[in-house]
Structure 1
Amino acid sequence: MGQVRELAAPFVVPGPTGVAVRDRLKHLTAEDENVLRAVGAHLGRLASKDLRARCTDGPGHNGDRWAARKRALTADSSSRWAGSLTKHTHNQWALSRRCQLAHIRGLEAGVRMLRHRLSLPIGQRGSKRAPGGYRSRREWHAKSRRLACLETRLETARAGWEAGQVRVVRGGKQLLVTRHHLAKADLTEREWRERWEAERWYLAADGESGKRYGNETIRVAPDGAISIKLPAPLAHLANAPHGRYVLTTRVRFQHRGEEWADRITADRAVAYRIHYDVQRGRWYLTASWQHPVVQTIPLEAARARGMIGIDTNADHFAAYQLDRHGNPVGDPHRFFFDLTGSTSHRDAQLRHAITRLLHWAERVGVTAIGIENLDFTAEKSREKHGGRKRFRQLISGMPTARLKNRLVSMASQYGLAIVAVDPAYTSVWGAQHWQQPLTSATRIMTRHDAASIAIGRRALGHPIRRRTAPPRHHQSDGAGHRTVQAASGTPGREETRRCIPGPRTRCAPPGRGAKAGDQRTQHRSGHAAEQQSWQQDALPLSP
């Protein structure tokens, strides 16, 4: 076995810093929908205009340019609408900038991997840590051409990064590409156009602490009444004083409704976003607010009542409960989910599996859940696992970042802490030390169940390797070897066992037997010790 890399220490994942709840806007009149469409389309055009100005400024943007952009938007909307638009535009540009950098890092990793594999002899086998050479001369030639292509892309991406150029599509690049494949998407041009326009609308307002109900632009009263401050060109559509439009519907947040009511009653900031789902023909209102930074519980406090270790897989969570000493308790649990289908279906499956997991953790009385700090960014590379398409699809389909964020958010409502551990060797060592000993006629242990024990023990601060089994009822090998044996290269493995004071069995005390000084006499014939007086003489052939 190669040298084991240094493992990162476990840590308690910080809790969520924000909350978002959503409710449907039911029973809207035709006039209400027309007003929402007009406001969303008008503000969407302003957002596109401001995004273009922000992209033109590039990295040289400063506070003066921000103020100039806001003044340009205020005349066609209002001061608060302009503030929300410029902030949203800046966040969108910054996100695109981070994605551009991640794209460059991915291209650099691909170029390094291709250069490494092309430098190896054809047919050279790889290892677990690094792939080998290519299998044939034809594949080597194809990869050399791909290397030239990636180097060109990398050079173009770096030039764009240095110039501060970003590519942003308001409405989404995926929906834009769908325009050229309407038959495959089973859409008509009119249906696509409706979705495209709805995605480009802008109906969102940031909260303001100290203002009435926490928001002056989109205001929601404690009784659920919704009023919108109309932009200046649409002020003639107002049905309430001060250029506001009041919707006929009412909202009632079922989830965290009391927390939302407490915030707006105290005039604390709450941000709102109105969204139209074209496929369902429904309007939704999302309310969001931030939490103050909460100090996470100490790691020792999280370990006080045991731990539940979770091994994340493509179709289920493998979980095992451990006490605070690292001993497995009960039987393994598996929480299955299906990540095929639409995004909403995958999210629902993930939430349902996490909910069942948290309910079980609440019943058993633990205070923390151990999970691997997974990041498959390097393993998704086409250049590293080009011939293992199924494997790349498997790890690409695992929503590790979304899973961790959702688990942390939902676990905080149950008072559970999340402990992240280094994922190195958990599957290998778990299967080596825990799969076979815990398998019985009534319990079937999988490799994933054993990995969950390894994750839980690492989160508790214990080594994954099990303790050496105590001596059997006698000292011979009739009952089998001890659980942990010395490897062939272990120094001193042939030496005499250390003398332990006091009798360990009902026979002679340790260190006093005829064979105590040299263990070789038990198995090797012809040894000098066999000629001692205690050896039984051969039986006579005749009386």
Structure 2
Amino acid sequence: MKADREAGRVAVVRGGWKLLNNRHNLQAVGRTVEQWRAQWHAARWFLSADGESGKRYGNETIRVTPDGEISIRLPAPLAHVANAPNGRYVLASKVSFPHRGEEWRDRIEANRAVVYRIHVDVERDRWYLDANWQRKDLPVVPLETLRCGEVIGVDMNADHLAAWRPDTHGNPIGRPRRFDYTLSGTADHRDAQVRHAIIRLVHWARATGAKAIAIEDLDFTDSRTREKHGHKRRFRKLVNGMPTAKLRAWPLAMTAEAGISVIAVDPACTSMWGAEHWQKPLTAPKRPVNRHQTASVAIARRALGYRIRRRTAPPRAHQSDVYGHRTGQARPGDRGREGNRPRVPGPRTGSAGAERGRNAVDQNAQDRSGRSAEQRSWQQDSLPLSL
């Protein structure tokens, strides 16, 4: 590399290595020399300009008016070919943005920065203008405000997103939803599959009127090594194939457009506890429920501030205190929601003694939230990530 640099040889492939390799395999790709040459030149025929807030319509070099007129600020050596005042060249064609056109219009009318890129597609024989911008300083909604509405729990897996919609008390309603994607093929194909699944999830959440989506704060950085899982090659391959970074980052941007927030919750034991406490009661003869769907229920309940464990039904009247046990779902702030159950005086067959059960004050054995059953060193409170 040092010898090439001193000799003035630079290893740069304009258009990309794929286009270069197609030159040596024209028959395999079904191209002629002229078609390949057109693609080669089109890869370098583009014009881009970064925007700047405060400038007229958000970009001084490539300016697009609200009615679609495009003008380019020419450099000084080309000022003589300008067809508009101030050294600008106005293109004959106009542009329109069917996707997010109203948002783009509101942005340029406020003179906020917009990045433009003009390029050609030789296969369609068309010129295109792309516009993109970045949102900053998104407002953060308090977690207590989000818990006042419905929150959809989403369980992320290697090939699909499992989602279930609970009510404000944490009880699942309706039917679970599954959004599939395939992590095969090229990187662009895999990204498109994941994006499509997230878009369908966001559209469903907006149609149900949910205020937030609860996802797991997964991080497999320490789980990808062989030292931790030994020879479990299938498991390590599964973990490495999950696009956890994209499944955490992309929902933030996509939900912001729909006015939906994202809540990240602790992923510990959601699949195990969800299957233990929710799989049997939610399973119907014509609607089997799997562990991924019950995990989404556990994630939603954790985001709402409820414990994952269900409240057990009261005993029959002739076996206890005539419906003395509470069954209603208590809210996180209610007084006595984690207190001991009342004990009725009197002997009980097989009990530990009158007025004292075996687990009467053992909160850990009863899986109370806020105890060591759910509060360990890795416990993490639910946090809102975006609007």
What is the TM-score of this pair, normalised by structure 1?
0.51
Selected match of 1:500 from 343, 356, 359? 343
Amino acid in structure 2 at the alignment position of 1:500: R
Residue aligning to 1:463 = 307
Aligned equivalents of 2:262 and 2:347: distance in 1?
Answer: 54
- Code of the residue aligned with 2:74 in structure 1: it is L
Give the structure 2 partner of residue 250 of structure 1. 94
| CA drift at 1:200 | 5.4
- Report if aligned partners of 1:230, 1:244 keep a CA contact under 8 Å in 2: yes
Is contact 2:13-2:20 (8 Å) kept? no
Q: 1:482 corresponds to which residue? A: none
Write out aligned runs for 1:353-392 (5 A): 353-381=197-225, 390-392=234-236
Question: Is the CA contact (8 Å cut-off) linking 2:48 and 2:116 kept in structure 1?
Answer: yes
Higher helix share: 1
* Of 126, 143, 148, the match for 1:304: 148
Cα separation, 2, equivalents of 1:463 and 1:184:
63
Alignment of 1:37-186 (within 5 A): 175=18, 178=21, 182=25, 186=29
- Taking the aligned partners of 1:170 and 1:386, their CA distance within structure 2 comes to 41
Query: How far apart are the structure 2 equivalents of 1:187 and 1:379?
Result: 44
Name the counterpart of 1:216.
Answer: 60
Match of 1:453 among 263, 286, 297: 297
Q: What letter matches 2:256 in structure 1? A: S
Is the CA contact 1:306–1:323 (under 8 Å) kept in the aligned structure 2? Answer: yes
How do residues 193-342 of structure 1 correspond to structure 2 at under 5 angstroms? 198-199=42-43, 203-232=47-76, 234-235=78-79, 238-277=82-121, 280-342=124-186
Whole-Å Cα distance in 2 between the matches of residues 395 and 178 of structure 1? Answer: 33
- Amino acid across the alignment from 1:402: K
> SS of 1:404's equivalent?
helix
2:246 is the counterpart of 1:411: no
Report how many residues are paired.
326
Structure 2 portions without partners, runs of 5+ = 6-10, 321-339, 355-387
| Greater strand proportion | 2
Per-residue CA deviation, residues 249-291 of structure 1 (Å, 9 max, x unaligned), is: 2111122322322333343332212234456554321223344
Q: Distance in 1 between matches of 2:44 and 2:225?
A: 33
AA aligned to 1:324 is T
Quick one: structure 1 residues 254 and 469, their matched pair in 2 at CA, closer, same or farther if it must change by over 3 Å? same
3-state SS, counterpart of residue 133 of structure 2: strand
Matches within 5 A, 1:339-350: 339-342=183-186, 345-350=189-194
RMSD of equivalent CA atoms: 3.9
Distance 1:249 1:516, change over 3 A: closer
In structure 1, runs of 5+ residues without a counterpart are: 1-51, 53-167, 477-496, 502-509, 520-543
| TM superposition shift of 1:294 | 2.8
Give the Cα–Cα distance (whole angstroms) in 1 for the partners of residues 317 and 259 of structure 2: 46
Counterpart of 1:288 in structure 2: which amino acid? Answer: N
On the 8 A contact 1:308/1:322 being kept in 2, the answer is yes
Question: Residue deviations 1:209-252, cap 9 Å, x none?
Answer: 33332222111122211122234455565444444332222111
CA deviation map 1:434-464 (0-9, x unaligned): 2223212132111110111111112112222
Deviation at 1:292, TM superposition (A): 4.7
Give the aligned residue type for 1:429.
W
Relative to 1, partners in 2 of residues 1:518 and 1:401: Cα closer, same or farther, differing over 3 Å? closer
Quote the Cα distance in structure 1 between the aligned partners of 2:78 and 2:229: 56
TM-score, normalised by the number of residues in structure 2:
0.69
Contact 1:270 1:287 in 2 (8 A): yes
Q: Secondary structure at the match of 2:280?
A: helix
Q: Which moved more, 1:272-281 or 1:401-410?
A: 272-281
* Residue aligning to 2:346: 511
SS at match of 1:369: strand
TM superposition shift of 1:347: 4.6
Q: 1:305 to 1:500 in 2, by over 3 A?
A: same
CA distance in 1, matches of 2:241, 2:15: 21
Which whole-Å CA distance do the structure 1 matches of 2:232 and 2:223 have between them? Answer: 11
User: Partners of 2:348 and 2:222 in 1: how far apart?
Assistant: 59
1:430 to 271, 274, 280: 274
